[in-house]
Structure 1
Amino acid sequence: MILFFDIEQDEPFFENVQIFAAPKVLQEMIRYAEKWSKLTEENENEKIFLRALLNELPAFGARLLHLEITLPNENRLQTVLSHLHDHYTHPIKMEDIALLSNLSLRTIERLFKKETGMTLVKYQQLLRIIKSLELLSMGELTISQIAYKVGYQSIQAFTNSFYTVMGYRPSAFIQR
């Protein structure tokens, strides 16, 4: 779920987009607020409730998920990047990447690590997890369907990878 607030708070938490698993109490608060009218007139009770929710968000988000991918600026890596984004569901074939980019495997790995701070394999893992988060939030597929759809060969491999990156099990992100 995505929440937007027009805030005037001087809290570092509110300076960036935040992604975190909402605890049950926050989920229920949001569901409760969803039932209100969408009229533009202000309601004092709604304002008090939303102010309380806003005040508690930094505490709810204490275990933030810093999930970001740095894109390489190096022009020679653009074909590598395109290939990874188009084929993240398949195992990385370094020979294919070398042929596409006309670079040696060693050069590709060195440049990619320098530009992004991660290996090609780690980059692919993050792409898969980001895509799985999108699919989980839609609530249309099971965890096993999502695992196979984003390229994992087993549910256990997906769950372990997801937990390593996110710090939570995939089930924490399923919309109920």
Structure 2
Amino acid sequence: MEKEYVDKYYMTDVDAFEDSIYCHHALMGDNHIEEHQHKKGQFLYTEGGVVFLKTSDKSYFLPARHYIWIPSGVKHSIHPSSSHVVMRNLYFPKYETDTDFFDKINIYPVNDLLIELIMFTNRWNGNIFPVEEPKYSIAKAFKLILPELSQSELPLALPYPQHEKLKNIVSFLEKNISENVGFKDLSQRFDISERTLARLFQKELNMSFIQYYTILRMLTALRLLLDEKISVNEVALRVGYSSLPTFSNTFNKVIGIRPSDYVKHQNTLL
């Protein structure tokens, strides 16, 4: 049984010792973690639901079988989608051998080897100091091997629009996710030309409408699969796909695994 999450633990323990590796495994319960930052880089893996991680400009969706790397100094808040979410955190100091992989925030799928390594860290909680060998070397190796095991980053994040009309458009898409909203219909509904709307998405969000809309639908599908435990077919309909094969293919292209396989493997560590 995981212990209840200790609110604001990161304010004190994580950065208390510059050279330590800090481990924290806990059940989130009904808590969320307010905006904060660490001097250490953070590896975050979750089980039992989706976690929303918010920075100043993006909202990241962290589902099961994926982890997020958060570089040192990045302000973020963490919001679990359910009280059953378990967070597994490892915080690492900077090393001279660090590559630019550790300078950017990204989400990556977790393969079987990394799953085994995460399971191994279950025995750790709190600070691990360099004098604690071989424990420290094992924990350090966990960080050093991440770039090798994380070749494919996933676009599981959506930027925040600043333009008022685009905010309304994005809100409409979220509220009507079960409809297959067409680009032309969207431009007519909000009285904006298709050309202007296309430029607005590209300028504000650095992606096309279809890219944004597809990611929004797939992230919603992830949440439904994890939190509501409904069938893949029902999820497809709930995010606007009348064709199950089309939904499955799109899900696989974005998430890297078919929805039916994702459901089978989501509770690997539970």
Asked if Structure 1 and Structure 2 have the same fold, meaning a TM-score greater than 0.5 normalized by the shorter chain, the answer is yes
- TM-score bin, normalised by smaller chain: 0.7 to 0.9
1:126 pairs, out of 190, 201, 215, with: 215
2:150 aligned with 1:61, yes or no? yes
TM-aligned CA deviation for residue 138 of structure 1: 5.3
Q: Is the 8 A contact 2:236 2:242 kept in 1?
A: yes
Aligned to 2:91: 5
Aligned to 2:266: 174
CA–CA distance in structure 1, aligned partners of residues 225 and 101 of structure 2: 25
Aligned to 1:38: 125
- C-alpha spacing 1:123/1:37, structure 2 compared with 1 (3 Å): closer
**Aligned letter for 1:92?**
V
Gapped runs of 5+ residues in structure 2? 1-44, 47-88
TM-score normalised by L of structure 2: 0.53
**Cα deviation code 1:50-102 (max 9, x no counterpart):** 22211111111012224443444333322212211222232115446533x33
Specify the SS of the correspondent of 2:214. Answer: helix
CA–CA distance in structure 2, aligned partners of residues 150 and 140 of structure 1: 15
Q: Is the 8 A contact 1:20 1:61 kept in 2?
A: yes
Aligned to 2:29: none
1:80 pairs, out of 165, 169, 185, with: 169
Q: Is the 8 A contact 1:98 1:108 kept in 2?
A: no
**Aligned letter for 1:6?**
F
**Cα deviation code 1:101-123 (max 9, x no counterpart):** 33234432343344334443332
- C-alpha spacing 1:117/1:174, structure 2 compared with 1 (3 Å): same
**Aligned letter for 2:188?**
A
Aligned to 1:20: 108
**Cα deviation code 1:100-153 (max 9, x no counterpart):** x33234432343344334443332111012223344555944544433333322
**Aligned letter for 2:171?**
S
Instruction: Point out the structure with the larger strand share.
Output: 2
- C-alpha spacing 1:57/1:85, structure 2 compared with 1 (3 Å): same
**Aligned letter for 1:98?**
Q
CA–CA distance in structure 1, aligned partners of residues 200 and 147 of structure 2: 37
Identify which range, 81-90 or 101-110, moves more after superposition.
101-110
Q: Is the 8 A contact 2:108 2:150 kept in 1?
A: yes
Specify the SS of the correspondent of 2:197. Answer: helix
Percentage identity across paired residues of the two chains: 25
Q: Figure out how many residues of one structure are paired with residues of the other and give that number.
A: 174
For the aligned residues, what is the CA RMSD?
3.0
Q: Is the 8 A contact 1:109 1:120 kept in 2?
A: yes
Identify which range, 56-65 or 10-19, moves more after superposition.
10-19
**Aligned letter for 2:267?**
Q
2:188 pairs, out of 94, 98, 102, with: 98
TM-score normalised by L of structure 1: 0.76
2:245 aligned with 1:156, yes or no? yes
CA–CA distance in structure 2, aligned partners of residues 118 and 148 of structure 1: 25
